[in-house]
Amino acid sequence: MLIVFFLAVDITQNFYLLQKAVATIEARFTTRVIRTLVSIRRRMDAEALTRAIQAYKPLGDEQTDKLLAYLKQSDAQTAPVPIQMLPLPEIDMYLSLLVLIWLIDQKKLEHAHELSQTLVDQIGLLNRRTLDQIAARIFFYYARVFELLERSAEIRPALLAAHRTANLRRDDELQATLINLLLRNYFQHKLYEQADHLVSKATFPESASNSQFARYLYYLGRIKALQLDYTESHKHLTMAIRKAPQHAAAAGFLQSVYKFSIIVQLLMGEIPERSIFRQPMLRKALIPYFHLTQAVRIGDLTQFQETLAKHADTFHADSTSTLILRQVLDGLLLRHNVIKTGVRMINLSYSRISLRDICLKLQLDSEEDAEYIVAKAIRDGVIDATIDHEHGYIQSKENADVYSTTEPQHAFDQRITFCLALHDESVKVRTRWRRFHAARAHLNRFFPLVLSNVQAMRYPNTERENEDEDKQDDLKSKEGTEPEDDIADLMGGLDDF
């Protein structure tokens, strides 16, 4: 009973934050509410939701009766004390969002589909910036319901129409969410060309949250991998890993990104670091990819083929089998990378070796195949050697000093580019906050009476508490930090990913 009471209190406290967000037109208060969704979802209870709904709106209201009908808790044992609060669309949508999440968790998908469709229709009629973050989360679960019903193809036109509307309204958060939902939908149905067309035509908003930006980088990395641009793909996947929080809340997302990152590195001829496979939340999920990496590292073609056969279902479920088994026009296969690794190790071990011995070590069918593979490895710069066709052997050249090449220069260039990009992004964030507080100070200077009257009318009982919170947030912003912890629940919703 106490759990229900405290949950209802937490939901009610979010009403005041949403009311304050509307009064001050500040998105950070709505962000606080959105960040509590994960903790509230874990304790979600029909009775607590009923108490919160009845405290905000009395019985007899059409929307209230619909929500209570979904919860089947219209006859509450104890009527809650009504809250003296002006009705706001933000609070209505927030309560409906909680009920929608509860219906999904209870596997009541038909009711969830009906409610989500109603909410999406209502969002189309409202154009309020204070509703942007809640609307984005509603669309996320709207698409999730269709996926659970195995009807995700039907939702594509609705998502495209909503994206056009969000673009016209300059709703950045909803734009970012809808782009990621469309990319997810395209990948589910293997519409890779349409996904690439969307990325090339739609501009991802810079002001989107880190969670949406990390997802966008993940999909962008997959698109580049399919286009054989492994360097760009690895860069985007690495940025997605860095953007995502490194805790259990985003474990599923990190596992998916690392799987593609490992395959892309192998296709680039690189070996992933062993420390990746030792991370606690990645160790179990990456076991098949660890065995695959071992086979490529030692150049054992037999072990490589055995790993493919053993974990074929896993690779297919992870959608990585296409990258592993695909064949490119120039003959480059991940299987050929295994052979290349073997050729490289042979070149380092022997100054001279016959093609017959290479054929036996790599388990190739004929000496002609071995000669072709060695010739291609020499042309690609994998090894530095010459082939004596008359006597049937290869002669290795002396290994050059790596510091006499341009490799260190390229490595430092990549690191410097990343640091400069990170610096530019940090400057943009600080500039945005400075402009916001300058505009707020200007507003307070010329319209103090208007603001005080609005605040007194919206929440008279908590005026002093809100002023104290504003002072604390101002101090934090002057120090160059945001008022809220950006790490907590940054990737909310990825548990359904």
Give Cβ neighbours of residue 268 (< 8 Å, ≥ 6 apart): 230, 231, 234
Say which residue the tokens 């093609």 belong to.
Answer: 355
CB atoms within 10 A of CB 128: 17
> Does 117 or 52 have the greater pLDDT score?
117
User: Would you say residue 468 has pLDDT above 60?
Assistant: no
Mean pLDDT (the chain) is 78
**What's the CA angle centered on 430, arms 425 and 433, to 5 degrees?**
130
In this predicted structure, which of 12-16, 85-89, 105-109, 319-323 has the lowest mean pLDDT?
Answer: 85-89
Residue 161 CA to residue 222 CA, distance in Å, equals 25
Convert the pLDDT of each residue in 74-96 to its tens digit: 444 445 555 656 678 888 888 88
Q: How many CB atoms lie within 10 A of CB 45?
A: 16
| Tokens 């009471």, located at residue | 5
Give residue 287's pLDDT.
92
* Average pLDDT over every residue of 428-448: 63
What share of the chain has pLDDT > 70, as a percent? 77
Helix, strand, coil percentages (3-state) for the chain, rounded to 5, are 75, 0, 25
The pLDDT of residue 451 is 45
What CA–CA distance (Å, rounded) separates 132 from 175? 10
- Tell me, rounded to whole angstroms, the distance of Cα 138 from its chain centroid: 17
Per-residue pLDDT at 457 exceeds 90: no
Rg, the chain, Cα only: 29
End-to-end CA distance of the chain: 33
Find out whether 132 and 27 touch, Cβ atoms under 8 Å: yes
**pTM listed for this prediction:** 0.71
Residue 386: DSSP 8-state: E
Name the least confident of 66-70, 109-113, 161-165, 448-452: 448-452
> By mean pLDDT, which of 144-148, 236-240, 282-286, 342-346 is the weakest?
342-346
**Three-state secondary-structure class, residue 391:** coil
More reliable by pLDDT, 447 or 400? 400
Residue-level pLDDT at 136: 92
pLDDT at residue number 84 = 57
**170's torsion region: left (phi>0), alpha (psi -120 to 50) or beta?**
left
What's the average model confidence in pLDDT over 63-81? 65
Q: Supply the pLDDT for residue 327.
A: 35
Furthest CA-CA distance within the chain? 97
How far apart CA 115 and CA 113 sit, in angstroms, is: 6
- Please check the confidence at residue 144 and state whether its pLDDT lies above 90: yes
Q: Helix, strand or coil for residue 356?
A: helix
Say if CB 18 and CB 29 are below 8 A apart. Answer: yes
Least confident of 135-139, 436-440, 452-456: 452-456
Query: Angle at which helices 210-226 and 192-201 pack, to 10 degrees?
Result: 130
pLDDT for the residue numbered 490: 35
Q: How many CB atoms sit inside 10 A of residue 469's CB?
A: 15
Backbone CA torsion sign across 277, 283, 285, 287 = positive
What tokens does 42 get? 């874990």
Question: pLDDT per residue over 23-42, tens digit each?
Answer: 888 888 888 888 888 888 88
CA 251 to centroid of chain Cα atoms: 11
Cα–Cα distance, 135 to 109 (Å, whole number): 20
Look at residue 308 and give its three-state secondary structure: helix
Give the integer Cα–Cα distance in Å for 491 and 253: 9
What average pLDDT does the segment 195-201 reach? 91
> How does DSSP classify residue 400?
P
Give pLDDT, residue 336: 65
- Determine the Cα–Cα distance for residues 325 and 319; give it in Å rounded to an integer: 11
Contacts 24+ apart (CB under 8 A), 427-435: 428/206, 430/480, 432/207, 433/477, 433/480, 433/482
CATH number for 331-400 (one of 3.30.70.360, 1.20.1300.10, 1.10.10.10, 1.10.486.10): it is 1.10.10.10
Average pLDDT over residues 430-436: 65
Q: What is the pLDDT, as a whole number, of residue 389?
A: 82
The CA distance from 56 to 95, in Å, is: 10
Tens digits of residue pLDDT in 388-410: 888 888 888 766 666 777 878 88
Average pLDDT on 159-164 reads: 92
Residue 193 burial class via C-beta count within 10 angstroms: exposed 0-12, middle 13-18, buried 19 and up? exposed
Cβ neighbourhood burial of 107 (10 Å; 0-12, 13-18, 19+): exposed
CA distance 255 to 281: 8
Average pLDDT over residues 437-461: 53
pLDDT tens digits along 335-390: 566 677 778 788 778 888 888 888 888 777 788 878 888 887 787 677 778 888 88
380 CA to centre of own chain: 35
Q: For residues 171-187, give the mean pLDDT.
A: 92
Which pLDDT value is given to residue 162?
A: 92
Give tens-digit pLDDT for 286-340. 999 999 888 877 767 778 788 888 888 998 888 888 888 753 333 344 556 667 7
Instruction: Look at residue 246 and tell me whether its pLDDT is greater than 90.
Output: no
Q: Per mean pLDDT, which range of 122-136, 395-409, 469-483 is the poorest?
A: 469-483
Q: Are 123 and 131 in contact (CB under 8 A)?
A: yes
Per-residue model confidence (pLDDT) at position 124: 85
Q: Where are the domains of the chain?
A: 1-151, 209-322, 331-400
What pLDDT was estimated at residue 1?
58
Q: Output the pLDDT for position 255.
A: 92
Residue 385 or 175, more confident: 175
Q: Where are the alpha helices (DSSP H) in 202-332?
A: 210-226, 230-243, 251-267, 274-278, 280-283, 287-298, 301-310, 312-317, 321-325
